[in-house]
Structures are given as structure tokens and as C-alpha cells.
Amino acid sequence: MFAMLLAGPVALTSCGAQIDRHGHVFIDIDLQDIQPGQSKEEVQTLLGSPDTTSSIGSDAWYYISTTQKTIAFLKPYEIDRQVLAVYFDGSETVQQVAHYGMKDGIVVNYFKGETPARGKDLGLLEQLFGNLSNRQMFKDKSGGGGPAGIPGI
């Protein structure tokens, strides 16, 4: 009985939410120090290397921070996003600084770390028995074995 009383709170705490932060760590003092007219080197000294850059349209550096929440075994979801965009002019000096958040939508389409795999397109039976059809492909029509006359394939 005592073990059951202890198991309840342990089970409830194991289902608690987990908060994960990824990307750039913003410090308010650094953000206020970025001003139009500064060089790329000055920005890099204050903020470090950008998370991603853009050279389409205008030259821009993006510093991205995301906060995700995971509850138990469910897929994590984003609860906060901050993007600092530093736009440069032709002489590589800061032209404009912009701050974006979740309310602004997706400003930068960044890589999420998911690579599509062919195995996800196949059903369970196709994955299990897919090699059987490949085995027939290597059979020699003359009955002399597999590729290059190797018997047993």
C-alpha cells in the first residue's frame, strides 16, 4: 500500500513538461548596442557568428532563438521564437535592425534537423518483403546463378 502511495507522485512528475532552448542566447545589452552605421565586424564582435545569412535582395544576418516544450512522449512544440535580423547596405554597414517573434510568423525558413527517408514512404509489408522482389531481379535468365555467374544469389 505504501509503495502505491509513493508511485503516484513519481508517475505524475515523470509526465511534467520539459523546456528546451535552441539557438542564439540573447542578452538585452547586446541587442541595444547594435546600431545603424556599424560594420559587420562590430556586429560579429557583439553577437558572434550569425545563425544564418541571406544575400537575396539585401545582405542580412539572422540570429535565431527558439524555445520548445515537450510533454511526456508527445512531439515538442514551439512556445517562443526570437529572430534578430541585421540588414547591411552595399558598404557592409548596418542599415536596419529588426526584431521578430512568433506573432510575426516564419521570417526565416530554417533547417529543423529532419531528413526525409525513403523507408517512411513504404508500408510495413513493403519494408519487410521488399527485398524478395530484388532477389528475383538478380537471377540469371539462363539459370546459371546470380550476377557474374555467382551461384546461390
Maximum mean pLDDT: which of 10-14, 34-38, 53-57, 139-143: 34-38
pLDDT at 40 over 90: yes
Q: pLDDT higher for 66 or 109?
A: 66
Handedness of CA 14, 16, 21, 26 (dihedral sign): negative
SS3 69: strand
pLDDT at 29 over 70: no
CATH assignment of 18-136, among 3.20.20.60, 3.90.380.10, 3.30.1450.10, 3.40.50.1820 = 3.30.1450.10
CA-nearest of 111, 29, 34 to 66 is: 111
The whole-number pLDDT of residue 97 equals 92
- What would you report as the CA-atom Rg of the chain, rounded to the nearest whole angstrom? 27
Q: How far apart are CA 101 and CA 103, in angstroms?
A: 5
Q: pLDDT digits over 61-97, tens only?
A: 999 888 999 998 888 888 888 889 999 998 899 999 9
CA-nearest of 138, 146, 46 to 97 is: 46
CA dist list (Å): 95 to 17, 41, 85, 87, 89: 41, 14, 11, 6, 6
pTM assigned to the model: 0.57
